Amino acid sequence: MSGFTVAITGRPNVGKSTFFNRMLEQRKAIVDDISGVTRDRQYGVADWNGKTFNVIDTGGFVPDSQDVFEREIRKQVAIAIEEAHAVIFMVDVATGITNLDDAMAKMLRRSKKPVYLVVNKVDNHERLLEANEFYSLGFDKVFFLSSISGSGTGELLDDLMSLIPDEKEDEDAQSVPRIAIIGQPNTGKSSLLNALIGQERTIVSDIAGTTRDTIDTRYNLFNKDFVLIDTAGIRRKAKVHEDLEFYSVIRAIKALDEADVCMLLIDAEKGVAAQDLSIFSMATKKGKGVVVLVNKWDLMDKETNTARDYEKKLKERLEPFSDVPVVFISATEKTRIFKAIEMALEVYDNRIRRVPTSKLNTAMLKAIETHHPPVVRGHAVKIKFVTQLPTAVPSFAFFCNFPDDIKQPYKNYLENKLRENFNFSGVPIRLFFRKK
């Protein structure tokens, strides 16, 4: 399922952010014993057993509160539940069922989404017995776990993954490239979109969509045929003043899931911000092709090597994945906007490239012969055969005698050699090592 999204909800201080960090395997959300630390929504991409999914960590739910922050959090929890495919409702065994838990349970029972009741902080037998009272909240799927130690999370994730169908390549869907314009607010996404669809005759048909979803526009002009995924459609929603940014984030994540290639817009004057890097890493983790568009280039003071130096600094920020095309554009002046589309289509071709096994082995075994894998525990690691796997993201299997002993620096070397020999510019590559 494209863009499967899980929302973590519950009252303040039950351990939602700790669980979120465990799902993402990184410390992204701030964790504290003080109630209400998570006021902003956190979002990221997690994977389990080869399936990736989006995770949203919401602030603590407090119904009927007059506190300005709690009122905002309540709205955002409602949006997260509406947007998610499944909801994790987290409670705390140490405090038992509270009035806030009851209020949240009533809200979730009205939702038609699958709800997983997760009883947190169950880290001993006594608490396991106490946790049984939560069955009275009336949810079918109840899981006992400890966010801090991680015990019990595997069973929950296995059950969640059963909702996500196995990826199958849809030949028809793959026939037309799908390009999404993503980036922070005010970087010029709408201006670029308007510049690209400025003439009505460029649009052949509007694929059905509502302002609640991303709107797809089919292009068929100048021998170019692709679908442009418009995330700016959300502007037409009437009641999204304070929550506009949250809607934008969820829409951008959904656009990422639906796209083959993402055109990441950054503001030339502001440079690469942390949010841009977050969007970039999310796109690469999902295996999407990426083209970086530096917008508002017409407003920059330029000297002889300004563009070259700017691109060099930009790629340093994007490391370790810096094999990404960069195009300097001006959406308002319509400068190089069609060059951007050509580059995005080129990246799409790179993403679907299939390298013949004979060519792959000729190039890669030569590179391996030139620079052997390091000897581990007295064993010489020998890679005998390479093949490309039939996946949407370019993936390669290296067959060797000690697959677990190949370290990251050597994996980086092999990836660099793949990029040198075959054009995978703008596309993340995945390497797998298997026993021959």
**Mean pLDDT of the region 73-81:** 70
The DSSP annotation for 285-323 comes to HTT-EEEEEEE-GGGS---TTHHHHHHHHHHHHHTT---
Question: Residue 326 above 90 pLDDT?
Answer: yes
Each residue's pLDDT tens digit, 308-324:
888 899 888 888 888 89
Q: Provide the 10 A C-beta neighbour count for residue 112.
A: 5
Range from 1-10, 292-301, 354-363, 372-381 carrying the lowest mean pLDDT? 1-10
DSSP for 45-82, please give it: EEEETTEEEEEEEPPPP-TT---HHHHHHHHHHHHHHH
Indicate whether 73 belongs to any domain.
yes
Indicate the number of domains in the chain.
3
Quick one: how many helices (H) and strands (E) in the chain?
13, 16
Whole-number pLDDT of residue 189: 76
Judge whether 320 lies within some domain: yes
Q: Are residues 176 and 303 in the same domain?
A: yes
* Residue 51 structural domain: 5-161
- The confidence score (pLDDT) of residue 208 equals 30
Do 307 and 335 fall into the same domain? yes
Does 300 share its domain with 182?
Answer: yes
Q: Is the pLDDT reported for residue 15 higher than 80?
A: yes
Indicate whether 11 and 141 sit together in one domain: yes
**Shared-domain flag, residues 199 and 113:** no
Q: Which of 324, 351, 378 is the last residue of a domain?
A: 351
Asked whether residue 60 falls in the same domain as residue 136, the answer is yes
252 and 113 share one domain = no
Establish if 80 belongs to a structural domain: yes
Helices (H), 84-152: 99-110, 125-130
**Statement to judge: residues 378 and 405 lie in one domain:** yes
- Confidence label for 31 from pLDDT (cuts 50, 70 and 90): very low
Residue 45 and residue 131 in one domain: yes
Q: Domain with 100 in it: what CATH number?
A: 3.40.50.300
115-141, pLDDT tens digit by residue?
999 998 888 888 888 888 899 988 989
**Confidence category of residue 211, pLDDT binned at 50, 70, 90:** very low
Domain boundary among 296, 323, 351: 351
Token reading at 7 = 């929302």
Q: List the CATH number of the domain containing 379.
A: 3.30.300.20
Q: Stretch 30-54: mean pLDDT, rounded?
A: 61
| % of the chain beyond a pLDDT of 90 | 20
**Contact between 305 and 213 (Cβ < 8 Å):** no
Q: Could you read off the pLDDT of 172-189 as tens digits, one per residue?
A: 445 688 888 887 777 777
In a domain, residue 166? The reply is no
Residue 227 domain-assigned (yes or no): yes
Query: How large is the average pLDDT for residues 7-22?
Result: 84
**CA within 13 Å, CB half, 167:** 17
Are residues 367 and 431 both part of a single domain?
yes
Q: Is position 97 within any domain?
A: yes
Residues 175 and 311 in one domain: yes
Average pLDDT over residues 190-201: 65
Q: Is residue 240 in a domain?
A: yes
Over the chain, what is the mean pLDDT? Answer: 78
Distance between CA atoms of 80 and 90, rounded to whole angstroms? 14
Neighbours of 202 (CB within 10 A): 15
Query: Which of 161, 189, 211 is the C-terminal boundary of a domain?
Result: 161
Nearest to 51, CA basis, from 151, 150, 157, 142: 157
The model's pLDDT over 50-71, given as tens digits with 9 standing for 90+, comes to 788 888 887 666 666 565 555 6
> 329 and 184 share a domain?
yes
User: Is 98 part of any domain?
Assistant: yes
